[in-house]
Chain A
Amino acid sequence: MLLDSTTGNIVLKLARLAAASVLLCIPLNTLAEEYDPNRDDQLLACDRVYDRGNIDQAIGCYTPLKSSDSLSIAAEATWALGDTNKANELFRLAVQAQPRNPHLRARWGRLFLSTHQPSQAAPLFQEALQLDPNLLHAKTGLAAALLSQPGAEARKLLAEISIEHPDDVETLLMLARLELETRNLDQADQLLDRALTSAESQSISPLDIYALKASADMLRDVEDSEWTKKALQISPAYGDVFFVASHYHLINYRYREAVEVLRKAVEVQETHWSAHSQLGINLLRLNDIAGAKKHLEIAYRGDPYDTATVNTLKLLDTLDEFKDLDTTAVFRLPGDSDDSTVPVVMRLHRDEAKYLSPYVEELTLKAVKTFSERYDFALAEPLIVELFPNHDDFAVRTVSTPGVGLLGVTFGYLLAMDSPSGRAPGEFHWGSTLWHELAHVFTIEKSDHRMPRWFTEGVSVYEEWTTGPLRGRHIPVDVLQAISENKLLPVKDLDSGFVRPTYPNQVTVSYMQAGLICEMISEFWGHNKLTEMLVEFDKRKDTTEAVRTVLGISTTELDRNLKQYIELNFGKVISEFDNWRELLSSMHTAVQSDQWATVVALANQANEIYPEYVGNGTTYLALHEAYESNGNVDRAVEVLETWFDYGGYQPDMLHQLAHRLRDQGRTDRATEVLESINWVSPNNIDLHERLGKDYLNRGDNQAAIREFQSLLGLNPHDKSDVYLNLAYAYKNLNDKKRAKRNVLQALELAPFFREAQDLLVELTGDSS
């Protein structure tokens, strides 16, 4: 990119703001220049001009340095002026010329950090540290790169650095960010105060510290932070003072507030590309598609390397392939005598809207009715439900990057999730995911986005278990293992298990722990206490205060209660965990070698310890196989039924169970099993055809209509038959007009269809 007088300050700021956050969940990397103790004096002089907000003068200062004889100075100046490609090339040449210079490698790593490539940056810092294990600038750079990855490595490294260099400003800032993320505001303040003192003594610009101070104020609901004013006094175009703060709104689900803060960021600094990008992404979360597009396009023009911007712009293009289907949810709050309504928009891909919408609608309307009553909250805005058949589109919608393992996310009144076709059949229970996300809408909105992460996740998990379409607790083996290894966090620190996991499955463990806490509160204190806690969170109370006010105990006591609750519910499997797992493992070995008697014996022993387990490697499917192999069909069906009753949902096994039940003449039970498949893997023509006919036969005409309409959406081979069945269902409901329309649609496709002709004659009363 060439620099000219019209674009100069734009590219300059691109470079100077290059440390902007890459992802919502990642803390900001650091502004490199200020914390480089070996920075060349000529560059430092230009930095100071920029820090005072004299942009044009700063361009004039950096420009001649591009032609410096020193490759490293030329690279730095080029970078500062925004040409990161050229800067990269110059760093490469500089490192080739001085391969033993660790500082150069550290600076090159910083360039990668600034261009949203922490995984490229980390190896350069590591190389620098091989050359000089004590190079602080490389250590802090590595810590910044590691902060973008899950795990405790970054925190560990920062702890080490802070012992060796207790006054290092950059380290103090990163530590403060971590504390802010988990709302440890006092600890953050202490770190920032130390950073201020240190920065002053080293003549380092305090702007970044002010930005974090302002963030802490924002988290305390201080409207006009003195730190914002101080920052803008030094540099009126310092958009980071708002941009940095927006991150803390975002990780607390406060998208509306984040958008307002981001608007201020681009107002004071219209070339803050990362702020434009985040503004666009978050406007999209608020369903302002046009606004999102505008800011994302601005961001792209300024910084085409930001993958979040590029991915989200691509996603916007794919939204054209979606259809908005409108419906209305009816609910009644406790104590109200009348129903209220709220509009619901189902945004579904055009290829699956027709077959999926009946189920999305049914579950959404049921959830609104259920949660309005259970949480005494009336939705105040239209609810938007988006389902993405392409998982990467959903991932971009969620965190602006493909390849994440999430299933659903709620931004307030808008929720997005994988559609059932977004994953292999049976890989997830989409009905439960939708139920989970819909519960979030209520907890997030009732608390005005103020609840802690653990609470909203806990309520959603608890609702999945108790009121969702797949009843029963579904606790994975590795979570049981974590419980048996005492890895649960104290409730007051539970948010860190979601935001900054320190071991691989800690997020899942935290979900389950949160779910168990909410279930326990409901069971021991009553469900209404969960609602009361939301009210406390809305009053800006934290976990400790809310627990004390509503439950009358400390969080430490709550932790003790949880331990007892877990003992009560999972005591046997926790105490015999190793034995139970060994039994499962031996059972599967026996399955491999067809030792069916052994399989049965081991499975039964395992089930005595933990009969509810229907997850991966469950005993029930092995038992089923064993009984089938022995020709004991009745026992095989029996164990499959037990598995189903405990919440097993593998679609092929459910189809098999339904088939067997039908063979036994237990049609109603078979229908119940088939119905459950709709919430796992509804993309199946035979399923809807069978269910539709079953419902029609037993007079459940509405359910039959849902099934046949869904079936039409899957484009079956013989549509005329489906229309005829729809006509029968409507006729049974005395809806003659719809019955006639459907029978005519049958005849339109199959004019010689005698059964349809007969029904038409009957419906029109024409017997001529």
Chain B
Amino acid sequence: MHSLKAVTPLGASAPVVDEINGFTMREVVDRALVSVAARKGQDKAVAKILAKLIDAPTPQAGHFGGAMTKSKSAAIWMAPAQWMLDAPMKSRDDITTSLAAEFGGKASLTDQSDAWCRFEITGPQIDRLCSLLCAVDPRRLTAGCATRSSIEHIGAFLVRLGRTKLHVIGPRSSAASLHHAITTAMTSSVY
């Protein structure tokens, strides 16, 4: 076991939690993300392997499939023939190695776990919060949807896990700016 200590995207030793106006926002650090891009001509084969891994149909554009729970994996549609596999973070060192065996050279795999920060937001007024954050129509961002938008000039993914639960995934280096934008909107969203 190595001696280095990880920090969260916000630079803390434990996930930062904010509770504002009935919202709870928590830094998510226990999920691994791996980009899965099908090699030429392997779209269907890769989709099939992915479906098996997430135990659900491979998601179409604008959606995710599977479950983001402690023991289950999910896949977020990114582009034609490209998904982001979201898996429980066990040891980040083995995930691409074990996945490489699963995909057998049919997909290009790139570990993206550390490229992103992720905030889980829960609360009854997620739609209102969305309205202050980005141009996505919250009426269409229903459970199972995953889409890309811009939050205060930061490119981010919005993953709707349920009526009261949303994941915002943004670039790790801008975690503080994204955190500021979301907490500000939470404070301001009493209207």
A binds B: no
Which residues of A approach B to under 8 Å, CB–CB?
A: none
